[in-house]
Amino acid sequence: MEAVVALERDAQLMLRVREGDDTSFALLLERHRGPVVHFLYRMVQNQAVSEELAQEVFLRVYRSRKTYEPTAKFTTWLFRIATHVALNSIRDRKKEKGHESLDEDALDGVERQVADRQPTVEQEMVHEVRLREVRQAIEALPAKQRAAVLMHKYEGLDYTQIAGVLSCSESAIKSLLFRAYESLRDRLSHMA
């Protein structure tokens, strides 16, 4: 019930922002900035970049205030924006990495060393150990939670699709995934 009230409050705040209330925008920013930065960090794996992208997300929210309609939950709308911003950043960074230029002025007669981007044997071993721990933690989940996590994270299915597969409501899937992810966070907290 409290979550529903918070969701309604977010939509109400955004409707006030649409009407020009900057204080309501500050409240939304305060409430959602942390989760958005955290989500973006998981997407781009760089704290400074995630902070910059969060600013872009909230700038887009503010710019879209006049056209906002509460047809979906505010957080759904917000994280859709955050996802697009993150994916655009990832795509742009891949392009930049592929097109590093050797600017003559920047070199200034100094030899440029190109870093070996291949992981070391030690890095690969640590990565394998972490993957194994994650797999074991997922395998330890109750069957329905495990199925939901695998469909959601690894197969990219949305709540409606998972609900159809597991023959339950969308809200039951959300609850199921929440419990599963909480359990995984607890089991894997040492990796954070």
Does 110 reside within a domain? no
| Domain count of the fold of the chain | 2
- Band of the pLDDT at 165, cuts 50, 70, 90? confident
As a whole number of angstroms, the distance between CA 50 and CA 187 comes to: 25
Which segments of 99-169 does DSSP mark as H helices, in order? 104-107, 121-139, 143-149, 159-166
**157 close to 151: Cβ distance less than 8 angstroms:** yes
Does 21 reside within a domain? yes
**Statement to judge: residues 78 and 130 lie in one domain:** no
**For residue 131, what are the domain limits?**
122-191
pLDDT at 135 over 70: yes
CATH code of the domain covering residue 134: 1.10.10.10
Does 102 reside within a domain? no
Does 20 reside within a domain? yes
**Statement to judge: residues 89 and 126 lie in one domain:** no
**Statement to judge: residues 133 and 175 lie in one domain:** yes
Q: Residue with structure tokens 């607890």?
A: 186
Which residues, including other chains, have CB under 8 Å from residue 39's CB and lie 6 or more apart?
79, 82, 86
**Statement to judge: residues 79 and 129 lie in one domain:** no
Does 98 reside within a domain? no
**Statement to judge: residues 59 and 140 lie in one domain:** no
pLDDT for 46-63, tens place per residue?
899 999 999 999 999 999
> Which pLDDT score is estimated for 20?
92
Q: How many Cα atoms within 13 Å fall on the side-chain side of residue 160? A: 0
**Statement to judge: residues 11 and 50 lie in one domain:** yes
CATH code of the domain covering residue 40: 1.10.1740.10
Decide: pTM greater than 0.85. Answer: no
**137 close to 184: Cβ distance less than 8 angstroms:** yes
Look at the alpha carbons of 125, 142, 146, 74 in this order and tell me if their dihedral is positive or negative.
Answer: negative
Does 181 reside within a domain? yes
Total number of residues shown for the chain: 192
Give, in order, the Cα–Cα distances in Å from 9 to each of 15, 120, 170: 10, 49, 22
